[in-house]
Amino acid sequence: MKVALVGATGMVGSEMIRVLEESTLPITSFVPVASAKSIGKQVEFKGKSYACIGLADALQVKPDIALFSAGGHVSLEWAPKFASNGTYVIDNSSAWRMDENTPLVVPEINASDLTPNDRIIANPNCSTIQLAMALKPLHDKYGIDRLIISTYQSVSGTGYKAVNQLNGERTGNVDDKAYPHPIDKNCIPHCDDFLESGYTKEEMKMVNETKKILGDQSLRITATAVRVPVDGGHSESVNAQLKKPFVLDELIQTISEMDGVVIQNDVKNNQYPMPLMAKGKNDVFVGRIRKDDSAENTVNLWIVADNLRKGAATNAVQIAEYITANNLIQKETTV
pLDDT mean across residues, the chain:
96
**Percentage of the residues of the chain whose pLDDT score is greater than 70:** 98
Instruction: Kindly state whether residues 91 and 154 are assigned to the same domain.
Output: no
Structural domains in the chain (count): 2
40 vs 331 pLDDT, higher one: 40
Instruction: Kindly state whether residues 73 and 178 are assigned to the same domain.
Output: no
157 part of a folded domain = yes
Give me the pLDDT at residue 328, please.
80
Q: Is it the case that residue 333 has pLDDT exceeding 60? A: no
Instruction: Kindly state whether residues 149 and 258 are assigned to the same domain.
Output: yes
Instruction: Kindly state whether residues 120 and 131 are assigned to the same domain.
Output: no
Distance CA 191, CA 228 (A): 10
Mean pLDDT along residues 268-297: 98
Q: To 10 degrees, the CA torsion angle through 217, 218, 219, 220?
A: 120
Instruction: Kindly state whether residues 64 and 51 are assigned to the same domain.
Output: yes
Give me the pLDDT at residue 334, please.
36
Q: Is it the case that residue 331 has pLDDT exceeding 50? A: no
Q: Is it the case that residue 67 has pLDDT exceeding 50? A: yes
Give me the pLDDT at residue 330, please.
58
Q: Find out whether 311 and 234 touch, Cβ atoms under 8 Å.
A: yes
Please write the tens of the pLDDT for every residue from 225-246. 999 999 999 999 999 999 999 9
Distance CA 108, CA 143 (A): 18
Pick the catalytic residue from 126, 139, 187, 191: 126
Instruction: Kindly state whether residues 28 and 139 are assigned to the same domain.
Output: no
Instruction: Kindly state whether residues 189 and 293 are assigned to the same domain.
Output: yes
CATH label of the domain that carries residue 76: 3.40.50.720
Q: Is 234 marked active-site?
A: yes
Q: What is the pTM of this model?
A: 0.95
Q: Is 126 marked active-site?
A: yes
Q: Is it the case that residue 335 has pLDDT exceeding 70? A: no
Please write the tens of the pLDDT for every residue from 77-96. 999 999 999 999 999 999 99
282 part of a folded domain = yes
Q: Is it the case that residue 155 has pLDDT exceeding 90? A: yes
Mean pLDDT along residues 153-181: 95
Lowest average pLDDT, out of 186-195, 258-267, 282-291, 323-332, goes to: 323-332
Give me the pLDDT at residue 175, please.
86
Instruction: Kindly state whether residues 115 and 141 are assigned to the same domain.
Output: no
Pick the catalytic residue from 52, 139, 191, 234: 234
Mean pLDDT along residues 239-262: 98
Instruction: Kindly state whether residues 52 and 178 are assigned to the same domain.
Output: no
Mean pLDDT along residues 290-305: 98
Mean pLDDT along residues 272-296: 98
Please write the tens of the pLDDT for every residue from 97-134. 999 999 999 999 999 999 999 999 999 999 999 999 99
Instruction: Kindly state whether residues 163 and 292 are assigned to the same domain.
Output: yes
Give me the pLDDT at residue 332, please.
42
> In the 3-class helix/strand/coil scheme, how is the chain assigned residue by residue?
CEEEEECCCCHHHHHHHHHHHHCCCCCCEEEEECCHHHCCCEEEECCEEEECECHHHHHHHCCCEEEECCCHHHHHHHHHHHHHCCCEEEECCCCCCCCCCCCECCHHHHHHHCCCCCCEEECCCHHHHHHHHHHHHHHHHCCEEEEEEEEEECHHHCCHHHHHHHHHHHHCCCCCCCCCCCCCCCCECCCCCECCCCCEHHHHHHHHHHHHHHCCCCCEEEEEEEECCCCCCEEEEEEEEECCCCCHHHHHHHHHCCCCEEECCEHHHCECCCHHHHCCCCCEEEEEEEECCCCCCEEEEEEEECCCHHHHHHHHHHHHHHHHHCCCCCCCCCC
**Percentage of the residues of the chain whose pLDDT score is greater than 90:** 96
103 part of a folded domain = yes
Residue 107 domain boundaries: 2-124+312-325
212 part of a folded domain = yes
Q: Is it the case that residue 139 has pLDDT exceeding 70? A: yes
Q: To 10 degrees, the CA torsion angle through 63, 68, 74, 78?
A: 30
Distance CA 109, CA 30 (A): 28
Instruction: Kindly state whether residues 243 and 134 are assigned to the same domain.
Output: yes
Give me the pLDDT at residue 275, please.
98
Which residues lie below 8 Å from residue 189, measured CB to CB, with a gap of 6+?
224, 225, 226, 227
335 part of a folded domain = no
Instruction: Kindly state whether residues 51 and 39 are assigned to the same domain.
Output: yes
Distance CA 225, CA 153 (A): 7
66 part of a folded domain = yes
80 part of a folded domain = yes
Mean pLDDT along residues 316-324: 97
330 part of a folded domain = no
Q: Find out whether 252 and 289 touch, Cβ atoms under 8 Å.
A: yes
Mean pLDDT along residues 158-179: 94
76 vs 335 pLDDT, higher one: 76
